Amino acid sequence: MIIGYTTGVYDMFHIGHLNILRRAKEQCDYLIVGVSTDELVLHDKNKRPVIPFENRCEIVKAIRYVDEVVPQVDKNKFEAWKKYRFNKMFVGSDWQGTPQWKEFEKQFAPVNVEIVYLPHTDGISSSILRDQMNNCR
């Protein structure tokens, strides 16, 4: 059985989120999705999500491509692997080639975890939606 893992904030769930989850599930038998906690988002992005953590988890759980939702409390992907033992880790192609993900590639190679870069959906993000909401005021 191929276990997949991906993470995200999933604030203001949109088609880009759905595309990542759909494409990830096409490549694994069981998909685990880490949803970033409000505290992690505040620490990493210096902003509070529009949708509270518990609600974002419920939204992601309702997606048919998702088999399990877990909290993402930090960005330590290797600790997540120790806990969930996934075979593939999925991320948007906009992260490919970044120093952070090059480091993850090196870290996961010895344990045979494949990092799969999925096509990014251009023109949509939670940040874009947030800006649009602010411009409507």
Confidence at residue 44, expressed as pLDDT on a 0 to 100 scale: 86
Question: Span 132-136, mean pLDDT?
Answer: 58
What percent of the chain is modeled with pLDDT above 90?
77
Q: What are the sequence ranges of the domains in the chain?
A: 3-135
Do 48 and 42 contact (CB within 8 A), yes or no? Answer: yes
Question: The domain 3-135: what is its CATH number?
Answer: 3.40.50.620
| Interstrand relation of 3-8 and 88-92 (parallel, antiparallel or unpaired) | parallel
**List 47, 61, 83, 102, catalytic entry:** 47
**List 25, 45, 61, 75, catalytic entry:** 45
Q: Is position 45 annotated as part of the catalytic site?
A: yes
Confidence at residue 120, expressed as pLDDT on a 0 to 100 scale: 85
Q: Is position 102 annotated as part of the catalytic site?
A: no
Would residue 89 be called left, alpha or beta, if left means φ above 0 and alpha means ψ between -120 and 50 degrees?
Answer: beta
